[in-house]
Structure 1
Amino acid sequence: MTERRLLPALVLICATALTATACSDPTASSGTPDAASDSKVDPTAELDGVRLTMWTAQNTVNAPKQVIDAFEKATGARVDTQAIPDLYEQNVPTKLASGDKPDLMFWQPSISTLPFIQPQQNLLTLDKEPWVDKLGDTEKKLGVIKGKRYAAIVTSPAMLGVYYNKDVFKKAGIADDQLPKSYDELLALGHQIKDRTDAAPFYEAGGDKWPLQWQMQVQLTDLPATWWTDLNRNKEKWTDPVVVKAVTKYKDKLLGAGLAQKNYKTGTFTGSADALWNGDAGMVLNVTSFQSQLQAKHSTAELDKKLGWFPISNSSATGMYSPDQTNGVVAFKTGDTKRQNAARQFLDFWLETDYPAYIKAMKIPSVQPGVPSPDGLPQTSQAQIKALPTANGVFQAKAIVAPDTHLYLADMIYGKKSPQQVAQAIQDQFAQVAKAQSAPGF
């Protein structure tokens, strides 16, 4: 999934439709009973006559199909999926504000997005479920707000790293042991591709905008955890010189140095996959949805022959993880104890009884170290699995608000904003949403 954000619309929702509930302290309890989450459930217990509703995004409506079919067969329950029209992150809070509520829902399990659906007011806590302790270390960090778990983690977060064309690297004289170990080395490698091949070193998607954020994100990985804590308390700002420097380096040292394709202002996400596959671009910095696009067109053998992947951070060869809405599933407080327990039973069935079959059918990595990932995954996917345990979180996983950085970076590449103005716009939006959420310090 992409990281397209909709914060201005969500702020409007907070200011109007949800008023005293959705824009109050996101950790404040409504007092709705949550006793169902304290009782144990049998994943395969009979549920004849029970009907659950699950909300999904339009492009993920088929993601839970395998587990739903298996659950219905095992229990007699019925799980109906309902695709919420795009844009998902905007329309879900609007529907919740109108009083509509599902039993289950895909939702991004990050501290910047989970609060928009008011977890303590709306969601069952899942701390005592049997699958919690089986999650990998990175996955355990997701779905938790103020020490309480509100989301089941069913898929691994997307990995951000560099996809590269092996033939382009060979033409540029780049061996496997010469992969970069810092962002500066990555730019140097870009110059090597530019000087020795006809390919563009990087493909940038200014037309779709959302991928523009990644080059900036990579450069912020050396910031200490205390900086993010202080940012979330309004003691640090996005206008910090380190942020301005990252934006400036992207503008001057990558785009300004000719390290992107000529049409980077209008480039697209789908165009980036085609350019990399055809060798018109040497590298694409993007998340796992990029690989999903490639896997839809090419076999594992073809991918292994043509493409590689490596992790990168500002000063190390470390990957980055990026949560998205396919990673987490939440269960709502509906006031119907039978349905609430059935929703928890569905999640337990998903992550306990059915999990090996689910990841095999989906051909995706496992979120549980005790359950091996399926055979036949591309080498790029295997490299991402290896990099995940030590990966840095993108700012969506660290900041209480994830600003629309890509929109402001797009303004920059279109000549409408300077790097300093980009940083200021990010800060203004961050503070606006944090204040609307009644975050402490704002």
Structure 2
Amino acid sequence: MKTRRLFRGAAAATCGALLLAGCSAGNPGTSSATAGPVTTTWPDPGAGLQGVTLTLWMSTQTAAMADNVIKSFEAKTGAKINKVVIPDVYETNAPTKLATGAKPDLATWQPTGSMLALLKPSTALQSLDGAPWLAKQTPAIQKLGLVNGHHYAAFVNVPSVLGVFYNKSVFQKAGITSPPKNFNELLADAQKIKAKGVAPFFGAAGDQWPTQWWPQVLLAEASKKGLWERVSQNKEKFTDPEILGAVRQFQDMVKQGLFNKDDKTSKYTESGPALLKGEAAMVLQLTSFASLMQSTADTATIDREIGWFPISKDGNIATSVPGGDNALVAFKTGDPKREAGARQFLRFWLETYYPDYVKAAGTVSIEPAVPTPPGVPEVVKQATAALDDAAGSMQQNAAVNPDFYVNLANMVNGTMTPEQVTSTTQSQFAQLAQALGIQGF
């Protein structure tokens, strides 16, 4: 698996930049040049495109992801793909370029409700409803990348889910013979591990962003019951008992010493080696955490030493968090030939070239007819299977994405209380929602 990165922040800056962008008129299912509905055509993936140049924006982390696809597409069609790598932070700098009037034909983008909403998809993006590849993908994927019932994201990689990676030997030495069946059992196991002198969990508050996962898994059941939709309608707040209770639970875990002693300063990159060495028993992370472990261990070692299970407050529900390398969006540029060319490129990637792409990437296939190649760790396969019943994360289901993780990291460092974390996050959420004109704010 290639190293993957989740878009993690700069929400206010992103929103502000996008509000300055002049989005073209149009609606889902209509062209950018007409006001009436038109039938979207899906050009043959190998059709000739001589003289057509498509611009593709990518982040530094996804810069090489499409290289082989591009090379093959250009050779087959005669088209030219102008790949533009936007420097970090992509989720801030890409919208800033859009605000200047620049517009690509295609771009990698985090396919969550909050991030897609920032692009004003009904006017700025091509609707991908009816795309030929959709029916070939797993049902779980077909339900993602939607805004107001319309598809705007073309998934090329399987989305990450949140779950617990654990060291099998540490569990065995602590007398734990099976994964916990709910959060209370998880905490009981953590105490057994702590009694053996091992850190139950490896945090990485020095990087801030991993802190947000603990409250989110505690909210999985609530998410399935519409929590983030209610928050997006201003019918429920971060300061209300549900989310506040999850934040308090996380703080209790920190106070009980269930994390590594250097949690306040430790980094994400340290968590993989710590788990493999048994210096920590568990890491709550995205599926892409396996890529970090693969940088220091082979698949056989990971399969032998590391297990995985989903966790939630009352059971074993995973939480879905699509990342920035999972999908592409196609922009409305006003040029029908280029817009059709963008759709053709997506078809080529997800139909003609997809078996080769999956094999080269060494990743789980999101098309049942295309086999997952050898060498993918078992924990990745298990996490992918959990996607079918996963709850949506805040990033996936909420209308906007506040800097929840920054406030939680401050709490870990002792500078904010749970009440201050939720109050500040609610204020940020409302500010972003107001800026986007979301009703109820």
Q: Is the TM-score greater than 0.5?
A: yes
Determine whether 1:245 maps to 2:245.
Answer: yes
Determine whether 1:328 maps to 2:327.
Answer: yes
Secondary structure of residue in 2 paired with 1:159: strand
1:212 aligns with: 211
Secondary structure of residue in 2 paired with 1:312: coil
Secondary structure of residue in 1 paired with 2:288: helix
Task: Check whether the contact 2:32–2:332 (CA below 8 A) recurs between aligned residues.
Answer: no
2:201 aligns with: 202
Secondary structure of residue in 1 paired with 2:307: strand
Shift of 1:229: 2.5
Moved over 6 A (4+): 24-27, 34-37
Q: In 2 relative to 1, CA 430–30 (structure 1 residues): closer, same or farther, beyond 3 Å?
A: farther
Secondary structure of residue in 2 paired with 1:67: helix
Matches within 5 A, 1:329-368: 329-368=328-367
Q: 1:53 aligns with which of 52, 55, 80?
A: 55
Shift of 1:226: 3.5
Task: Check whether the contact 2:203–2:259 (CA below 8 A) recurs between aligned residues.
Answer: yes
Q: In 2 relative to 1, CA 227–165 (structure 1 residues): closer, same or farther, beyond 3 Å?
A: closer
1:264 aligns with: 263
- Code of the residue aligned with 1:257 in structure 2: it is Q
Q: Deviations over 1:329-369 (max 9, x none)?
A: 11111122211111111100111111111111101112223
Q: Deviations over 1:12-65 (max 9, x none)?
A: 3356x34x759x9999x9964498871231001122232211111101101112
Q: Deviations over 1:242-263 (max 9, x none)?
A: 21111111111x1111110111
Secondary structure of residue in 2 paired with 1:53: strand
1:231 aligns with: 231
Shift of 1:109: 1.1
TM-score (normalizing by structure 2)? 0.93
Shift of 1:10: 2.4
Q: Deviations over 1:130-157 (max 9, x none)?
A: 1122222221122211122111111111
Distance 2:43 2:377 in 1: 37
Identity percentage over the alignment? 43
TM-score (normalizing by structure 1)? 0.93
- Code of the residue aligned with 1:242 in structure 2: it is E
1:434 aligns with: 433
Task: Check whether the contact 1:26–1:115 (CA below 8 A) recurs between aligned residues.
Answer: no
Shift of 1:280: 0.7
Distance 1:361 1:89 in 2: 27
Q: Deviations over 1:151-192 (max 9, x none)?
A: 1111111121111112211211222xx201111111111111
Shift of 1:393: 1.5
Unaligned runs of 5+ in 1: none
Determine whether 1:87 maps to 2:89.
Answer: yes
Matches within 5 A, 1:145-224: 145-175=147-177, 178-196=178-196, 198-223=197-222, 224=224
Secondary structure of residue in 2 paired with 1:62: coil
Task: Check whether the contact 1:323–1:397 (CA below 8 A) recurs between aligned residues.
Answer: yes
Secondary structure of residue in 2 paired with 1:113: helix
Task: Check whether the contact 1:37–1:126 (CA below 8 A) recurs between aligned residues.
Answer: no
Q: 2:119 aligns with which of 117, 120, 123?
A: 117
